[in-house]
Amino acid sequence: MDLALSEEQEAVRRLAEDFVAREVTPHATAWDRAEEVDRGIVKKLGAVGFLGLTIPEEYGGSGGDHLAYCLVTEELGRGDSSVRGIVSVSLGLVAKTIASWGSEEQKRQWLPRLASGEALGCFGLTEPGTGSDAGNLATRAVRDDATGDYVINGTKMFITNGTWADVVLLFARTGDAPGHKGVSAFLVPTDTPGLTRRPVHGKLGLRGQATAELVLEDVRVPAGAMLGPEGKGFTVAMSALAKGRMSVAAGCVGIAQAALDAAVRYAGEREQFGKPIASYQLVQELISDIAVDVDAARLLTWRVADLIDRGQDFATAASKAKLYASEAAVRAANNALQVFGGYGYIDEYPVGKLVRDARVMTLYEGTSQIQKLIIGRALTGISAF
């Protein structure tokens, strides 16, 4: 077992570290206060190849393996989780899914644009009344027998990149079969008539991220917009989320690493009772707990990347990584805030934002409770659904 990074992977990590230091970290507080990331970051992410990682070069991607992808998403998460989310969704959930399930025409149409940052994608699964119960969608796509088109009606909620995206990977019910059996996937351009996007503001964390509600009223798409076979949309969604959980886990490692860096730096500078607080054992305990969580979460995440690159089953490992890393990020951010004391509670310092950004990681792309159900089902062979 060799846990050392290759020269190529180390070069990618340094590129991401330099990019974050130059393009992300200096603006993170301002973006958080304004509740809006500068949209120009998308083209910059595309220019350095971060939106095309693992996508074949023949479709405009930058290639690379999944560990390199994890290294980039970790660095982006360390700088600003709102920026990390742009990549995790447009590349991790949309572009990778098109690469796996798309027709040749769909790949040629969308992948070069998504990889370059010319276009951005969003993942339209969650609905106002359907979160964890993803197979019980209310959005419907009805086939028009006269034209062969599908007419879509419904509402999607909490959609990352929603107000910026050029294409929605949308999931809708196309048949009368119960549960997930009647769900299909579609690629819907966001300029299609009848599709309305409403920004979601006032979020606790990820405040700079473009989050939206999508309303579809008689949205008409051709039959060629369907991604994968009819009725297999739930399978498409779950395959996307399995890889997406690795990306979220890597972003959580980035949050925890940022918390560790901030806590160590501050503890060495802050003095109480005549000496740095880093000299006190209870502060050292807080810092050591963060450090262990960082290492454990990172190794669980790297294992998922290794399994994917070796072509082995990774879904349960991805749930384990996402569960542990998201909960670890919350613990790490809380411990860092404790090190900072009262100063951690104002946004002049970074740890308050880390606490707020970390909290949602236990909720989206499958709550911690859903991850436990997935892991338990895999171990016992008994489904809770």
Q: What is the per-residue pLDDT across 87-117, written as a single tens digit (0 to 9) for each?
A: 999 999 999 999 999 999 999 999 999 999 9
Q: Is 380 exposed, middle or buried (0-12, 13-18, 19+ CB in 10 A)?
A: exposed
Q: What is the per-residue pLDDT across 292-343, written as a single tens digit (0 to 9) for each?
A: 999 999 999 999 999 999 999 999 999 999 999 999 999 999 999 999 999 9
Q: Does domain 7-120 have CATH number 3.40.50.970?
A: no
pLDDT at 176: 80
3-class secondary structure, 117: coil
Quickly state the pLDDT bin for 181 (edges 50, 70, 90): confident
Q: What tokens does 358 get?
A: 């970390």
* pLDDT of 167 above 70: yes
β-sheet bridge partners, residue 168: 122, 188
The whole-angstrom separation of Cα 230 and Cα 226 is: 7
Lowest mean pLDDT among 6-20, 54-68, 165-179, 285-299: 165-179
* pLDDT of 383 above 90: no
pLDDT at 382: 82
Q: What is the H or E stretch that residue 334 is in? A: helix 315-340
The alpha carbon dihedral of 315, 140, 95, 127 has a sign of: negative
Q: What tokens does 32 get?
A: 């958080």
pLDDT at 133: 76
Q: Classify 235-380 by CATH class.
A: mainly alpha
Q: Is 7 a catalytic residue?
A: no
pLDDT at 385: 54
**Quick one: residue 167, left, alpha or beta (phi over 0 = left, psi -120 to 50 = alpha)?**
beta
- Please tell me which residue in 74, 75, 327, 365 is annotated as part of the active site: 365
Q: What count of Cα atoms within 13 Å lies in the side-chain half-sphere of residue 170? A: 36
For 272, phi and psi rounded to 5 degrees? -140, 140
pLDDT at 177: 75
Mean pLDDT in residue range 115-120: 98
CATH superfamily of 123-231: Butyryl-CoA Dehydrogenase, subunit A, domain 2 (2.40.110.10)
Share of the chain above pLDDT 70, in %: 99
pLDDT at 175: 82
User: For the chain, which residues make up each domain, given as ranges?
Assistant: 7-120, 123-231, 235-380
* pLDDT of 384 above 60: no
DSSP 368: H
The whole-angstrom separation of Cα 72 and Cα 15 is: 8
Within the chain, strands assigned E span 121-124, 140-143, 150-160, 167-173, 183-189, 195-199, 211-221, 226-227, 271-272, 275-276
* pLDDT of 132 above 80: no
